Structure 1
């Protein structure tokens, strides 16, 4: 919250628990949320405690067969117009949505999850077959 970038990266064998560990949003057990829900909870708690000036927006993308897709775009748009890298760290078109609570983050991630490409493998009946990136941008603006 003091201007530093942070990344959480998980890699491992199919079905080793990467998505479960990172994304798990109270799926039946509120005592064991994933890393992303825990981080978002801390971010929103910090904002409530310390400031009247914060602005949060997020994006959610998928990398599949070396092509980038916007998981928040309508399915027809995402399928016809892959995201392009147009500058250092700049992706276009990539939808960003304002989030104001842990609930809104959960809704964005659930919507994006429904757009991911999945297929069965020898290891997992519903493997994503892709990599995903959830990005949260925090700006210090009047709330």
Structure 2
């Protein structure tokens, strides 16, 4: 009985995975380190490409760290982002509400005014009077 059992053990030992040597473990560790460094380099290359594309579309390069896009989508996303930001900035920029229209008076017309007309212009629109009287 013992011999049949030992024979079975010996037969099954060939299927048992062998223990790795220190050299094999070191090699696997080096491979893992190289793969992580390669992934880091690829990520930096991708970020630089995104920065270049953003610069070509006249957008700030700092947006690159917030964008995670592939090479094939980069151009379309950069152009779409540019149009969205430009529209947003244009629509939300300061627009003066109390802007006064120019009365259409030129310096020639101002010179032809008599004293009372100039006085009324001065009281009604001092900025225009000051501008035209210079």
**TM-score bracket for this pair, using the shorter chain length:** under 0.3
When normalised by structure 1's length, the TM-score is: 0.24
- Greater helix share, 1 or 2? 2
When normalised by structure 2's length, the TM-score is: 0.26
- Relative contact order, higher structure (CA 8 A, sep 6+): 1
